[in-house]
């Protein structure tokens, strides 16, 4: 396969750098009072829409390799598509097909997990995000595996449920809790004991990414593996009590907890068990995978480490082989822009803050860790704040821009890609005013970068990977207006947009 890039005969190119700016989560909305992009002060974006080449792109559904056009886009598939310039079937679609065809259950990984538990008498544990957001996971995948586990003779199953409220409405957890509990109760009988064992909100427990906050992973590991945490008699009671104690809290921010009966926690993970992490998306699965698999591990004290068979829904990092065992093969994304440029000896700069650093590197490069050519590529990570994003809506946009301007002026980089995380990370909080500030901050950074690129004789492409900030309130399609709560106020929307 040749990686030679042919010059376009009708365009001579530019003498300076080509800069791609991804405004994460900044989509084109209805331009109403729930659209933080429309409400923000954006003179730079407004000017570009009037004077530059402008078009709207689809960033969801089949346009980015997801199962249907009812599936919202996300940062992973968005950066895969931007980096590859082509559409690949993505995790959700691949898992759907593997379950439908039965290939998932016929594979060696599933058979090993089942035989391990049947032979030892220990539980088969499922850990993952409990929702139908279809960004990191889908509850239907979990339920399909629970049913198959029973038919395959597994007597004991434990579910460790991470609550969403981010890719789905912010307080929708009980909808999924009830669906899971119904499925579990239907599988229980005199011989089979299928129960929830632990849980917590996805932004407080287990699902950290890019090494931003290993304490999240530690809290999850302690709850899932050791059964340490505040105890509740059921998953529903845990959610209800924690909400009652902290009015207004979203599901994603609920603390870690365990489910216990008269004998104590019902589902610590013990030697002889098997563990399946059922998220298909990789960025928030890698750290908990390392906690289970790494022999040398320094991020926190794991205590007594059980001897378990661990598997992921997919392999989350092919270069690092994380995890070693997985149920569904990830998409094979080749011939990415980064690979083409490296082969053509074109220098590259990729920069973002921690929350999106992996998106302009790992996901942009086709789910590939590392660089194609160390001598040509510069990757810069600006450490993110660990405070709530709505309290710092500007995030690290200014620090990223400071470094970008400095790097551009060196003349070293012919291709530059930047991700500003503000629209997505602040948009996920459901805080409208903070998100308006977040989008305004990104616009201000564009105003700083564009003149520098122009002075260097370069070209700038301003785009986004999906929508989020453009729709901050839930929309009632039937009423053709905002969905209102019991007090007549619009319900905050924390998920991505279509």
The residues that are catalytic are: 75
Note if the bond before 323 is cis, omega within 30 degrees.
yes
**Per-residue b/e over 86-123, b at no fewer than 16 CB within 10 Å?**
eebebbbbbbbebbeeeebbebebbeebbebbbebebb
Q: Please give the backbone phi and psi of residue 327, each rounded to the nearest 5 degrees, phi first.
A: -85, -35
Q: Please give the backbone phi and psi of residue 22, each rounded to the nearest 5 degrees, phi first.
A: -100, 115
Which is nearest to 300 in space by CA: 308, 291, 292, 309? 291
Name residues whose C-beta falls within 8 Å of residue 69's C-beta, 6 or more positions apart in sequence: 60, 61, 62, 63, 498
Q: Facing residues of 379 across strands? A: 350
Taking residue 8's Cβ as centre, other Cβ atoms within 10 Å add up to 8
CA distances 405 to 154, 255, 374, 409, 411, Å, are: 58, 40, 22, 6, 11
Instruction: Measure the CA–CA gap between 173 and 184, rounded to whole angstroms.
Output: 16
Alpha helices (runs of H) in 152-303, residue ranges in sequence order: 173-187, 214-226, 235-245, 286-293
Q: Facing residues of 322 across strands? A: 317
Residue 257 burial by CB count (10 A; 0-12/13-18/19+): exposed, middle or buried?
Answer: buried
Q: What is the DSSP letter of 324?
A: S
Total residue length of the chain: 498
**Measured CA angle at 289 (ends 263, 235), to 5 deg:** 35
Instruction: Measure the CA–CA gap between 496 and 498, rounded to whole angstroms.
Output: 7
What kind and span of H or E run contains 318? none
Q: Is residue 376 within 8 Å of residue 346, measured between CB atoms?
A: yes
CA distances 33 to 39, 318, 433, 475, Å, are: 7, 43, 11, 12
First-last CA distance in the chain: 36
Which is nearest to 19 in space by CA: 428, 493, 348? 348
Q: Is residue 121 within 8 Å of residue 159, measured between CB atoms?
A: no
């Amino acid at each position: 396969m040749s990686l030679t890039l042919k010059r376009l005969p009708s365009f001579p190119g530019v003498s300076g750098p080509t800069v791609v700016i991804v405004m994460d989560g900044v989509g084109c909305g209805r331009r109403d009072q729930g659209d933080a992009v429309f409400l923000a002060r954006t003179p730079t974006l407004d000017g570009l829409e009037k004077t530059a080449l402008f078009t709207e792109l689809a960033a969801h559904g089949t346009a980015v390799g997801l199962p249907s056009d009812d599936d919202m886009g996300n940062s992973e598939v968005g950066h895969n598509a931007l980096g590859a310039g082509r559409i690949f079937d993505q995790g959700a679609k691949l898992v759907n097909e593997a379950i439908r065809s039965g290939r998932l259950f016929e594979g060696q990984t599933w058979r090993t997990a089942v035989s391990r538990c049947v032979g030892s008498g220990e539980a088969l544990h499922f850990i993952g995000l409990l929702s139908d957001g279809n960004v990191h996971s889908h509850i239907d995948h979990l339920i399909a595996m629970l049913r198959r586990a029973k038919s395959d003779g597994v007597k004991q199953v434990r579910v460790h449920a991470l609550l969403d409220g981010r890719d789905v409405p912010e307080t929708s957890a009980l909808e999924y809790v009830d669906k899971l509990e119904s499925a579990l109760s239907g599988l229980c009988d005199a011989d089979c004991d299928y129960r929830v064992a632990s849980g917590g909100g996805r932004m407080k427990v287990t699902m950290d990414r890019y090494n931003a906050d290993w304490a999240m992973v530690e809290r999850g590991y302690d709850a899932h593996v050791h059964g340490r945490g505040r105890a509740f008699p059921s998953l529903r009671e845990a959610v209800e009590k924690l909400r009652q104690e902290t009015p207004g809290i979203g599901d994603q921010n609920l603390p870690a907890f365990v489910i216990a009966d008269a004998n104590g926690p019902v589902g610590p993970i013990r030697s002889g068990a098997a563990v399946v992490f059922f998220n298909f998306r990789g960025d928030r699965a890698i750290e908990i995978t390392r906690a289970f698999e790494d022999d040398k591990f320094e991020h926190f004290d794991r205590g007594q480490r059980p001897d378990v068979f661990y598997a992921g829904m997919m392999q989350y990092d092919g270069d690092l082989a994380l995890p070693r065992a997985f149920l569904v093969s990830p998409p094979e994304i080749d011939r990415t822009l980064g690979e083409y440029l490296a082969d053509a000896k074109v220098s590259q700069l990729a920069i973002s803050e921690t929350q999106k650093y992996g998106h302009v590197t790992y996901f942009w490069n086709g789910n590939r860790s590392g660089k194609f050519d160390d001598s040509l590529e510069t990757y810069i990570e600006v450490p993110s704040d660990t405070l709530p994003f709505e309290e710092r809506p500007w995030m690290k946009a200014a620090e990223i821009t400071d470094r970008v301007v400095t790097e551009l002026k060196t003349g070293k980089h012919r291709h530059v890609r930047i991700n500003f995380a503000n629209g997505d990370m602040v948009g996920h909080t459901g805080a409208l005013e903070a998100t308006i500030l977040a989008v305004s901050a990104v616009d201000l950074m564009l105003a700083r970068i564009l003149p520098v690129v122009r002075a260097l004789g370069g070209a700038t492409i301003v785009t986004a990977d999906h929508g989020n900030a453009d729709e901050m309130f839930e929309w009632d399609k039937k009423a053709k207006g905002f969905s209102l709560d019991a007090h007549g106020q619009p319900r905050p929307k924390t998920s991505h947009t279509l």
